[in-house]
Amino acid sequence: MSRSRRPQAVSLYGDGSVMRRMQELVDTLAWVRIELAAAALAPPAPVGASRQERALAKMDAALDLAKQLVFELDAELRAARDNGTPPSV
């Protein structure tokens, strides 16, 4: 006889991946802040992407990462709730 079992959810916290990704998000947002502050003081660049354009592209990437983290954390919390177990720390 075979019993169907739910696959064990892998904790997003246990291997440190969430912490690394959160640190990446913080670093990216800090970089964007520095670039935007410097861009406000600098004259416009004659050629290529401006500091503001690069900062906006980084901000978009940071927002995507933040959304992804929220969805993954929410999925883990829902899975833990459905299994009746507290989320792994």
Number of domains in the chain: 1
Closest CA to 89 of 13, 16, 19, 23: 13
CA distance 8 to 80: 10
Closest CA to 85 of 5, 9, 4: 9
pLDDT tens digits, residue range 52-67?
Answer: 788 888 888 888 888 8
* Farthest-apart Cα atoms in the chain, separation: 74
Whether 9 maps to a domain, the answer reads no
Helices 17-41 and 51-83 pack at an angle, to 10 degrees, of 160
pLDDT tens digits, residue range 4-34?
Answer: 454 555 555 566 677 788 888 888 888 888 8
Whether 36 maps to a domain, the answer reads yes
- In the chain, alpha helices (H): 17-41, 51-83
Residue span of the structural domain in which 69 resides? 17-83
pLDDT bucket at 51, cuts 50 / 70 / 90:
confident
pLDDT bucket at 2, cuts 50 / 70 / 90:
very low
Whether 44 maps to a domain, the answer reads yes
Whether 27 maps to a domain, the answer reads yes
